[in-house]
Each structure stands twice: as C-alpha cells, then as structure tokens.
A and B are shown apart, each in its own frame.
Chain A
Amino acid sequence: MNGESILIRGARILGGPQGDMLLRDGVIAALGGDVDGTGARAIDADGLVALPGLVDLHTHLREPGREDAETVASGTRAAAAGGFTAVHAMANTDPVADTAGVVEQVWRLGREAGHADVRPVGAVTVGLAGERLAELGAMADSAARVRVFSDDGICVSDAVLMRRALEYVKAFDGVIAQHAQEPRLTEGAQMNESELSGRLGLRGWPSVAEEAIIARDVLLAAHVGSRLHICHLSTRGSVEIVRLAKQRGLPVTAEVTPHHLLLTEDLVSTYDARYKVNPPLRSADDVAAVREGLADGTIDIVATDHAPHPVEDKECEWDAAAFGMLGLDTALSVVQHTMVDTGLLDWSGVADRMSFAPARIGRCDSDDAAQGRPLAVGEPANVVLIDPAASRTVDARTSASLSRNSPYDGMKLPGGVVATFLRGRPTVEDGALTWI
C-alpha cells in the first residue's frame, strides 16, 4: 500500500465547499476544484466531510501492564476507527511511564503497530506517588519527545510539587496536565455528590473538589508563568474558573470528554458500573455548561479519556468497579450529536477542538510527524472522512478495543468515520479498519 496515491473526490473540506484532495507521498499534494489525479486511486467522497486527522490528548492504552484490557495496537486501532491519527498515551501503566525507558517503549510499540501516532505522556511524579518529580527532562529528551506530563488518575495535590512541576517543564516547553481532584474531599467517592448520591447511598464526589484544584492551579500557573492544562473538566464552576483565567490572559487550556458532553448522573441509578467514571457524570446543568464552554472556546479541546477495563472490573458491585469508559471510536459521533447537530459548533470548529488545538497543546504540531495541521497543499496527509448523514446503533462488541465498557452500547448516534488516512495511508476505509 505504501506509495499509493489517493484522490479524494468531492469532500466538503472542513464542512465547507466541495473539493478534491490528492494524497501522495504522505502529504497533501493538491487541493481544490480541479485536481489532476492521474495514476491515483479515486475515492468518491460526495456528501462526506473532510477533517484533519483527530488528535487525542488523553488516551489510556494500558500497555505495559494491563494487556488484558488494551494494548497499544488494539487501542490505536480503536483510535483509527474513530478518525484519530494521533493519541497521547497516559502514564498510569504498570510500570508507570515515569522514565525515558518506558515512554520510549510505548512510543516504539505505537510505531510498530502503525495505526496512529502514539505520543506518550510522562508521569509528573515517580510512580504517580505524588512525592518527588519524575525525570521529566529525560523523558522530554528521549526518542518519545514527551511534552505532556500528567499523573492522570491521581491529582498532583501537593501545591509545592505542582508549582515545581509547572516551573520545571518550561525548560523544554512542556505542559502539566492536571487531574483536578482534591483527594481529601473525594475519599472513597463513587459518583457526583448530589441529591441522587444521597438517595442511592453512594459516596459523593463534590464539584468543589475539582474546582478548588483548578482555581489553585490557575493561580499557581499565573504566579510562575507556566502553561497549565486541565484534564476532563466536568462542572459549571470549572468552566467559569477557566473562563475567568482566559479573560485574564493566562496560559491555561482545558479539555472535556465526550461522555461529559452527553451523559448525566441519572444513569447511575441503575448501579450499572459502565457509568462509573472519574470525574463522575454530573448534572444536566453541568452538561449544558461544558457544551457552552466548548462552543465559546473556554474549553479548548475534546479529549476522550478512553479507559478500557476488562469485563470483570465492571460486572460487579458499583463500589468494587473500576472507573472509566471507552471513548475513542465514539468520540466524533458524540461531538456531532452534542455540538454540531445542536448548532453549537460547525465542522471547522470540530477540527479545531479535536485536531488543531490538541496538537498545539501537546506540541506535536511541528515536528517530522506533525499532527493537527491544516488541510493544505504540502501538509501531512492526515485526513479523516466522515459521513454526517449516517447513523448507527453502538455495539460495544464490535469495538476494535479489547474492552467492552462503552457507556453508549445500544445507543443510536449520528455520523460515521468512512476513512482515516495516516500520512496518506488508509488506516480505515469504507468504514472498516484496513487490517485487523
């Protein structure tokens, strides 16, 4: 397949006017109304929308350590199926990605699999223990070129450690991605603290535990002049704090997950642990607030927090179940459903929130494997073709992920990924992975 030229005919570029796109030698060789595609294989894209390959800033690939839940290969296949050409692999593996050795291993596994670029995230602290800084510089200088550091799953709650981390990564233009969760306020927490948690007898995870950390970190970032990224923001209060920070011109970015754009805590009343996630599903008012925040740019990006778990970790009592849900292969459909079909965001907005901005935050928009680049001549041919008119009933059993913990299983969602191209090579075609 290498070296094949592909002519995409009649796609709506970023949802705008129709045009042809010639993918050759890994780049977009020609673009416009009258492209000469001699020798190229033509793909009819009439009615489809072309977006830059999606970039996920927040993915759990589980390898090394939990290959029963996901591997780099299976996770990146799910990513390709969802239209992603790059994913940032979170550090909470076993062993933790807190050394150059582990991040390079994950990066290499991604290269060997070849379904999507894997950009490892480095742990902020050794073993995610929150005690001392991991060798952030060594990970930055490694072949994996780590720029995003996160203890995701655990909050860097120590204010001094957080301050030092924010300062330290300035030396190599890194960013700290904070999992904002005040630990003492959330001991044993199981779901959003609300009237419903009181009724269900499940320990509450109060909004203030997220907002207090975000407020503190915004002030810390301002104080030391560092970049801060907020993972999976989930409450109205968090949106308001980030909005205020941006009004002050602070270098703060934030992400929201597809599930926090669509699902609410009401689902927990089934005690079905597929809906157990951290931060927890919130209220309808919080959902409205994160949608508004994503629309007006307060929230910069959508990130999946794709979190595979084996069946036994979900088929059990709520308290015993693992936190997290699948997200890669449904993200675009959820965003279409919640943002595009509601008129809150157009397709170029989707390209920004799911490709350009995450690549910029992750600093993977400028090197030799650049992602999140504009659809323009000479740019890398990372392209996704989507059919906004399609719809499907999600069947978790058909996911390319090794796990089945999709909260959308059985739900009807709009849109579908028809094709994904990674530097000109199709990873998905006709809605199916090109090789399994």
Chain B
Amino acid sequence: MIRHLLSAADLSHEEATLILDTADEMARLTEGRAVKKLPTLRGRTVVNLFFEDSTRTRTSFELAAKRLSADVINFSAKGSSVSKGESLKDTALTLAAMGADGVVVRHSASGAAYRLATSGWISANVLNAGDGTHEHPTQALLDAFTLRRHLGDLRDRDVVIVGDVLHGRVARSNVLLLATLGARVTLVAPPTLLPLGVENWPCEVTYDLDAALPGADAVMMLRVQRERMNAAFFPSAREYSRRYGLDARRFSSLPEDAIVLHPGPMNRGMEISADVADNERSVIVEQVTNGVYVRMAVLYLMLAGSGTGSAGGEDAA
C-alpha cells in the first residue's frame, strides 16, 4: 500500500489516517495481551540499517517488526561513506543480495533514505528512520497518534512546537504531517534556530513562547543540543532555558487539558524542567509505546500486501 516512507510530505490525508487507524488496530490487538505477536509478516525480512547510533529508535523498530513476526536483522554500519567506511551503495547491494524486503534506514546525511529508495541499488521498501537534519516521518506519525488519542480529531487543534527547528528533523516532519491532518502548528524558536524561508512553511512562527502557550492544545518540546551554543546559536544553556524552556511557571499558563510531548531523549533542566517532564499531563513515556504501534502499522502497510509473505498479497511480484 505504501512503497516507501521517506518524508511526511509523501502522505496524503487518507494515507496518514490509514496509518493512524492501523496503529489503533495494532494497539487493540496487542495492548494488555500476554502474547503480543501477530503472524502478519512471517517470512519477511526487515533490516534495521543504522549508520547513526540510536538505540531508542532501533529498538522500537525492532520490536515492531518482531511483533509482526518478521525476521529482523540489525545492520549497524559503523562507518558510512561520510566517514570513509563502506559506501551506502555497497551496503545496499549487500542487503539486496541478502533478500531484504524492507529497509529501515537511519543516517546522518539528509536525503540518504531518498537516495537508497531511488538509486536502483535495491528494490526493497525503504523506511526513513531519520536522515540528517531532514525528516523523521515515523516520529511525526507517533506524535500525531499520541495527539489523536488525547485530543481526538486534530483538525483545528493548536500544537506548539518549541526548539531547534533548523537542525531538527522531528520539527520538519511534524509540521508537514500535522498540516496535512488539519492541525494549526506554531513553531517557537530563537531566530538563529529557524531555517531560511520558514515563513512559507504551513505553520505560524513566533519567537515568544509565553505568548504561544495559553492557546495550545499540546506543546512539543524538542531536544536542544548544548553544543549549539558554541556555534553562537544562543549565548548559553541558561539563557536558552530561560527564554525557551518549559518550566512549572510556563506549564501553568497552558490550558488545563493541554498535554506535553517530547521525542526524547530529554535534557532535563534545559528545554524541559523535571517537574513538567514527570507531570501526569506529560505523555512522553506513552509516546514510546505508541512508537511501536505506529511502526507496526507502517511496516504492515508497506510489506504485508506487496510480496510473498505469509500475509499474502494480491500482488505477488
């Protein structure tokens, strides 16, 4: 049903809704059950190709594929061609020779997943698990899934995203997907951490966090790397925290039922204070659980219909 998932922009409203509905179904079929495994992708091979360390994301994908009974191979390519290791092409040819059906790829270079999917080196379905500072579409899907569970239909809901948009693939994918789903997104960041042309993105942009909070249905805090201050994006971690951190005072200015999200890993005391992170309206841990459902949904929609796996497909090519 889905050939590749490279960018949140690839998804229409119908496709995104289908993924979220399917994730709901995955949750229903596994939540609270002793045996959490479905036979859907038996006989299919999913490769987690990670050029960049990310235990959380890899584990989430691994669990998702295993719950669908797929064979999972973790291929951690320590050196990419960026660092003069094996080239992306040779890795792809290797995986193709091994008969991979789906490749989940994480890479430090923007566009690496796109390159893998369009190069002709491999015919497997490609799922972008984060490419450089470009996109991270399953993160956006799991965020949308989490938001939908708490807020219902996202049409005309106000979502505030705070943090490093310039280097943030989570922000890019979220803006694109939430816009597709009809939500109103407001990006909040210091001007130095906003990319050129952001004013043409399908969202609002402001430098003033305090002004954005009172109308928010949800706030998503993005991780900000302390090292950014060395490149003069902001003067100090303290100042960043004062102006753009979500602390108890700011939290109290949110509407009563507004929720707080964070893609993790958090810098407690930097972009989010410990008491906010641990508040019951913080859904950060739930995001992790939902990540597995969403990734199950995407893998299912990608791989179940397209080949000779046990779920069988109309198209056995």
State the A residues within 8 Å of B (CB).
190, 193-204, 206, 270-272, 312, 315-320
Segment among B14-22, B193-201, B256-264, B309-317 that sits at the interface with chain A: B193-201
CB of B84 to closest CB in A, whole Å: 9
Judge whether A319 and B196 touch: CB under 8 Å: no
CA–CA, A278 and B147, complex, Å: 43
Q: Is B132 an interface residue (CB 8 A)?
A: yes
Q: Which of chain A's residues have a CB closer than 8 A to the CB of B82?
A: 317, 319-320
CA–CA, A399 and B195, complex, Å: 39
Judge whether A317 and B112 touch: CB under 8 Å: yes
- 5 closest A-B pairs (Cβ-Cβ)? A195-B197, A198-B195, A201-B134, A271-B111, A317-B109
Q: Which of chain A's residues have a CB closer than 8 A to the CB of B81?
A: 316-317, 320
CA–CA, A272 and B134, complex, Å: 15
Judge whether A320 and B109 touch: CB under 8 Å: yes
Q: Most A CB atoms within 10 A — which of B82, B111, B112? A: B111
Q: Is B114 an interface residue (CB 8 A)?
A: yes
Q: Which of chain B's residues have a CB closer than 8 A to the CB of A271?
A: 110-111, 114-115, 118
CA–CA, A312 and B198, complex, Å: 34
Judge whether B133 and A317 touch: CB under 8 Å: no
Judge whether A318 and B110 touch: CB under 8 Å: yes
Q: Is B228 an interface residue (CB 8 A)?
A: no
CA–CA, A201 and B164, complex, Å: 13
CB of B245 to closest CB in A, whole Å: 24
Q: Which of chain A's residues have a CB closer than 8 A to the CB of B106?
A: none
Q: Which of chain B's residues have a CB closer than 8 A to the CB of A195?
A: 195-197, 200
CA–CA, A190 and B110, complex, Å: 10
Q: Which of chain B's residues have a CB closer than 8 A to the CB of A272?
A: 115
Judge whether B87 and A312 touch: CB under 8 Å: yes
Q: Which of chain B's residues have a CB closer than 8 A to the CB of A270?
A: 114, 118
Judge whether B172 and A199 touch: CB under 8 Å: yes
Q: Is B101 an interface residue (CB 8 A)?
A: no
Interface residues of B in 44-89 (CB under 8 A from A): 80-82, 87-89
Q: Is B4 an interface residue (CB 8 A)?
A: no
CA–CA, A318 and B166, complex, Å: 18
CB of A311 to closest CB in B, whole Å: 10
Judge whether A204 and B196 touch: CB under 8 Å: yes
From B80, B134, B195, B196, A320 is in contact (CB under 8 Å) with: B80
CA–CA, A318 and B133, complex, Å: 13
The number of residues on chain B lying at the interface, defined by a beta carbon within 8 Å of a beta carbon of chain A, is 29
Interface residues of B in 253-309 (CB under 8 A from A): none
Secondary structure at the A interface, as helix, strand, loop or mixed, is loop
CA–CA, A203 and B110, complex, Å: 9
From B107, B110, B115, A202 is in contact (CB under 8 Å) with: B110
From A198, A202, A317, B80 is in contact (CB under 8 Å) with: A317
Judge whether B197 and A194 touch: CB under 8 Å: yes
CB of A105 to closest CB in B, whole Å: 29
Judge whether B197 and A319 touch: CB under 8 Å: no
Q: Which of chain A's residues have a CB closer than 8 A to the CB of B169?
A: 201
CA–CA, A269 and B118, complex, Å: 12
- Name the residue on B nearest A201 (C-beta): B134
Q: Which of chain B's residues have a CB closer than 8 A to the CB of A201?
A: 110-111, 131-135, 169, 172
CA–CA, A96 and B135, complex, Å: 40
CA–CA, A197 and B197, complex, Å: 9
CA–CA, A130 and B293, complex, Å: 55
A200-B134, A201-B132, A201-B133 known; A318-B200 Cβ under 8 A: no
Q: Which of chain B's residues have a CB closer than 8 A to the CB of A316?
A: 81, 87-89, 115
Q: Which of chain A's residues have a CB closer than 8 A to the CB of B88?
A: 316-317, 320
Judge whether B111 and A202 touch: CB under 8 Å: yes
Judge whether B135 and A317 touch: CB under 8 Å: no
CA–CA, A318 and B114, complex, Å: 10
CA–CA, A271 and B7, complex, Å: 13
CB of A412 to closest CB in B, whole Å: 22
Judge whether A317 and B115 touch: CB under 8 Å: yes
Q: Which of chain A's residues have a CB closer than 8 A to the CB of B198?
A: 198
- Name the residue on A nearest B197 (C-beta): A195
CB of B191 to closest CB in A, whole Å: 13
CA–CA, A202 and B119, complex, Å: 19
- A202-B110, A202-B132, A204-B195 given. 5 additional CB < 8 A pairs? A195-B200, A198-B196, A271-B110, A316-B88, A320-B88
CB of B126 to closest CB in A, whole Å: 13
CA–CA, A297 and B2, complex, Å: 53
From B89, B112, B166, A315 is in contact (CB under 8 Å) with: B89
CB of B6 to closest CB in A, whole Å: 10
- Name the residue on A nearest B110 (C-beta): A201
CA–CA, A339 and B134, complex, Å: 36
Q: Which of chain A's residues have a CB closer than 8 A to the CB of B166?
A: 198
Interface residues of B in 88-129 (CB under 8 A from A): 88-89, 107-112, 114-115, 118-119
CB of B221 to closest CB in A, whole Å: 20
CA–CA, A161 and B195, complex, Å: 34
- Name the residue on A nearest B176 (C-beta): A199
Judge whether B109 and A318 touch: CB under 8 Å: yes
CA–CA, A141 and B246, complex, Å: 68
CA–CA, A422 and B211, complex, Å: 72
